[in-house]
A and B are shown apart, each in its own frame.
Chain A
Amino acid sequence: MSIATVDKPTDDGPPRRAITNQRNASDKRFRAVVTAGAMFAFVVLALIAGFLLFRGFEVFKEFGFGFLTSSTWDSGTGESLEGASFGVAAMLVGSVIVALMAMILALPFVIGTSLFLEYYIGKKLRAVLVSILDLMAAIPSIIYGLWGYLVLMPYAAGWAETINKYFGWIPIFKVDVENFDASPFISALVLGLMIIPIASSVTREVYSRAPQDQISAAYALGGSRWGALKAVVLPFGRSGLIGGMLLGLGRALGETVAVLLTLNLVFELKFQVLASAGGNVASLIASRIGEAGPSEIKALMAAGLVLFTLTLLVNFGASIIVSRTSKVAQ
């Protein structure tokens, strides 16, 4: 152990001792391994961003901010950006609309599932249902997509028609053309189903840690079970619920194949969620990449960068919200 002091003498009393520690060889090796592992993940993330930026750069240079605000998708000659016109506004807005709708549709089921599993059933049944829930989270999205396309869509189109019939006076439920297949609404139903397991899993975990003494207090005050849950568990678990939902939002924003099967991509900025026209950045890339010429590939890369940035921002916002609300709850 070496003994070191802070060099600069202070005015108030003797110099403060610096904290020093001589690490031994095995500690150094372990530190190197852990650091390398962590750095690797960051480096890959940076490389992905760099790759997208590099490939999409020309597009941003050519169209500037217009790439985000226009909704035309015309590859022109197909060889160069000269004469082509690309913009992802409709796709970007569509991604957000579908993901937000999925969240809204999933929310009551997430709360219900979490509370039911934690507070309304016995230990044995809970163990079974929790593992089923985790299995649901592991179902590949192509399965959800196929089911949504083949099974759900015929019914859901009917529901959409009914909603349109009675609530068509609300602008978002209006349709210009009476075709209710492959609408943002149907995509959101499928995505909502997909995020219920993953969001419930996080939420249930936090609900299960609600302080028992406060739950007892609520019961002792003449609270019913619902009363105790409302007074203690829901406020306590708010951060977990938000965290779980935002995790789901992250998944919904980037979901590709389930949306590809259930949404009709149209390059037109519209806010009619029941109509058979919507947008989605991830599905756009998947649907176009196979037959894209050199110029369109550049545009798709730029679209990828936009999606990448959007999901990063959402996750960043999520962690801020979670840390803020969990402070309040403690």
Chain B
Amino acid sequence: MENDDINLTVNATNTNAATGGNALDEGRVGTNGLQTKGVHVWFGKHHVLEDISLDFPANSVTGLIGPSGCGKSTFLRVLNRMHEFIPGAAMAGEVFLDGEEIYGPKVDVTAMRLKVGMVFQKPNPFPSMTIAENVLAGLKLANIKVQDKDSLLEECLTRAGLWKEVKDRLKLSGSSLSGGQQQRLCIARALAVKPKVLLMDEPCSALDPASTLKVEETIVQLSADMTIVVVTHNMQQAARVSDFCAFFLSDGGPGQVVEADRTSVIFSSPSDQRTADYVQGRFG
């Protein structure tokens, strides 16, 4: 299978990726969640991603795995148009959120990003704001008025698994927290604007093992009512937190999706030899 049809559309019976596409969510109906169709990305003249069609079902965790430089993080940015801030970046193809094109001519990008939140590799709380202000920063940025800020604050910090640790020091600066706490603060901040999708770009790569575990627990809990896409280099993490996995690979040319399936399938019986080699740590 080269770059022929890697469509991960609803297909309950076909398990052969090469001939039709994988069923990520068997029997799922409608257009909930996030879908991409034929996404290409270029940096200047450099073609970095080729024909990526993936389906991220609602209320699931999808892991994007693959060696460095294969375009996973770039692809993640395409999902909420953050790649548009990279000079020279251009994309082709379509991205749908609950059936609506996010690249449509009438789409308000800032409003779209309220629905598709993002957590970055390096924790990036706003240092000039307190912990509480950080969590509520998105509301302020988007001019959203909330009746009960205190309960929203508690709810977001609780969902991010941070409430117990910071409830007595909400007035302290966000940068007074440890790296792991800062990352969970960033997750809480992303949750405050009630996104439907949360994109996470190697959220644990700068964290120690204990903090990593906490963030992973948070991811699993959040997936009960939101769609999560997480880029990770850590195979164990992908196995622990994700329901589905997409394996990205670049053979010198643009990055492509080699295989996408249920995580259990990717790790136990992948259909492509390269996937098997990668998840077993034989390269990358």
- Residues of A whose CB lies within 8 Å of any CB of B are 211, 213-214, 216-224, 227-228, 231-232, 235-236, 328-330
CB distance from B115 to the nearest CB of A (A): 8
Closest 6 CB pairs of A and B: A235-B128, A223-B141, A221-B138, A222-B114, A220-B118, A227-B141
Which of B114, B120, B126, B186 is the most central at the interface, judged by chain A CB atoms within 10 Å of its CB? B126
Which of B80, B124, B137 is the most central at the interface, judged by chain A CB atoms within 10 Å of its CB? B124
Contact B126 A214 (CB under 8 A): yes
Residues in A neighbouring B113, C-beta threshold 8 A? 219-222
Contact A221 B193 (CB under 8 A): yes
Contact B85 A216 (CB under 8 A): yes
The residue that B186 contacts in the complex, of A217, A222, A224, A232, with Cβ under 8 A, is A217
CB distance from A219 to the nearest CB of B (A): 7
Using A231-B126, A329-B128, A330-B127 as known contacts, say yes or no to A218 and B82 having CB atoms under 8 A apart: no
CB distance from B268 to the nearest CB of A (A): 35
The residue that A221 contacts in the complex, of B85, B117, B127, B129, with Cβ under 8 A, is B117
Residues in B neighbouring A236, C-beta threshold 8 A? 128
Residues in B neighbouring A221, C-beta threshold 8 A? 113-114, 117, 137-138, 141-142, 189-190, 193
Contact A222 B140 (CB under 8 A): no
In the complex, A222 Cα to B124 Cα: how many Å?
Answer: 15
CB distance from A119 to the nearest CB of B (A): 11
Interface contacts beyond A219-B113, A220-B190: sample of 10 additional A-B pairs, CB < 8 Å, sorted by A:
A211-B124, A214-B127, A217-B120, A218-B126, A220-B82, A220-B113, A221-B193, A227-B140, A228-B141, A330-B127
Residues in A neighbouring B120, C-beta threshold 8 A? 213, 216-217, 220
Residues in B neighbouring A214, C-beta threshold 8 A? 124, 126-127
In the complex, A163 Cα to B121 Cα: how many Å?
Answer: 54
Total A-B residue contacts, Cβ distance less than 8 Å = 74
Contact A329 B117 (CB under 8 A): no
Give the total of B residues in contact with A, Cβ under 8 Å: 25
Name 8 interchain pairs, CB-CB below 8 A, sorted by A.
A211-B124, A218-B137, A220-B113, A220-B190, A221-B142, A222-B142, A228-B141, A235-B127
Q: Mark B172-212, 1 if CB is under 8 A from A, else 0.
A: 00000000000000100110010000000000000000000
Residues in B neighbouring A211, C-beta threshold 8 A? 124
Does chain A have a CB within 8 A of B122? yes
Contact A232 B111 (CB under 8 A): no
Contact A222 B193 (CB under 8 A): yes
B87, closest chain A residue (CB): A123
Does chain A have a CB within 8 A of B280? no
Contact A231 B140 (CB under 8 A): yes
CB distance from A306 to the nearest CB of B (A): 38
CB distance from B114 to the nearest CB of A (A): 4
A225, closest chain B residue (CB): B110
Using A219-B85, A221-B142, A236-B128 as known contacts, say yes or no to A231 and B111 having CB atoms under 8 A apart: no
In the complex, A329 Cα to B175 Cα: how many Å?
Answer: 10
In the complex, A223 Cα to B137 Cα: how many Å?
Answer: 9
In the complex, A14 Cα to B142 Cα: how many Å?
Answer: 63
Contact B141 A232 (CB under 8 A): no
In the complex, A328 Cα to B126 Cα: how many Å?
Answer: 12
Contact B141 A231 (CB under 8 A): yes
The residue that B142 contacts in the complex, of A223, A232, A329, A330, with Cβ under 8 A, is A223
CB distance from A236 to the nearest CB of B (A): 7
Residues in A neighbouring B118, C-beta threshold 8 A? 217, 220
Q: Mark B126-158, 1 if CB is under 8 A from A, else 0.
A: 111100000001101110000000000000000
Residues in B neighbouring A216, C-beta threshold 8 A? 82, 85, 120, 124
In the complex, A133 Cα to B17 Cα: how many Å?
Answer: 60
The residue that A223 contacts in the complex, of B110, B127, B129, B190, with Cβ under 8 A, is B110
Residues in A neighbouring B127, C-beta threshold 8 A? 214, 235, 329-330
Residues in A neighbouring B126, C-beta threshold 8 A? 214, 217-218, 231-232, 235
Residues in B neighbouring A220, C-beta threshold 8 A? 80, 82, 113, 117-118, 120, 190
In the complex, A235 Cα to B114 Cα: how many Å?
Answer: 23
In the complex, A28 Cα to B20 Cα: how many Å?
Answer: 77
Residues in B neighbouring A330, C-beta threshold 8 A? 127
In the complex, A213 Cα to B127 Cα: how many Å?
Answer: 12
Contact B142 A227 (CB under 8 A): yes
Residues in B neighbouring A213, C-beta threshold 8 A? 120, 122, 124
Contact A219 B189 (CB under 8 A): no
CB distance from A79 to the nearest CB of B (A): 61
Residues in A neighbouring B190, C-beta threshold 8 A? 220-221
CB distance from B75 to the nearest CB of A (A): 15
In the complex, A322 Cα to B141 Cα: how many Å?
Answer: 27
Residues in B neighbouring A227, C-beta threshold 8 A? 110, 140-142
In the complex, A223 Cα to B82 Cα: how many Å?
Answer: 12
CB distance from A266 to the nearest CB of B (A): 45
Residues in A neighbouring B128, C-beta threshold 8 A? 235-236, 328-329
A328, closest chain B residue (CB): B128
The residue that B138 contacts in the complex, of A222, A224, A328, with Cβ under 8 A, is A222
In the complex, A231 Cα to B128 Cα: how many Å?
Answer: 8
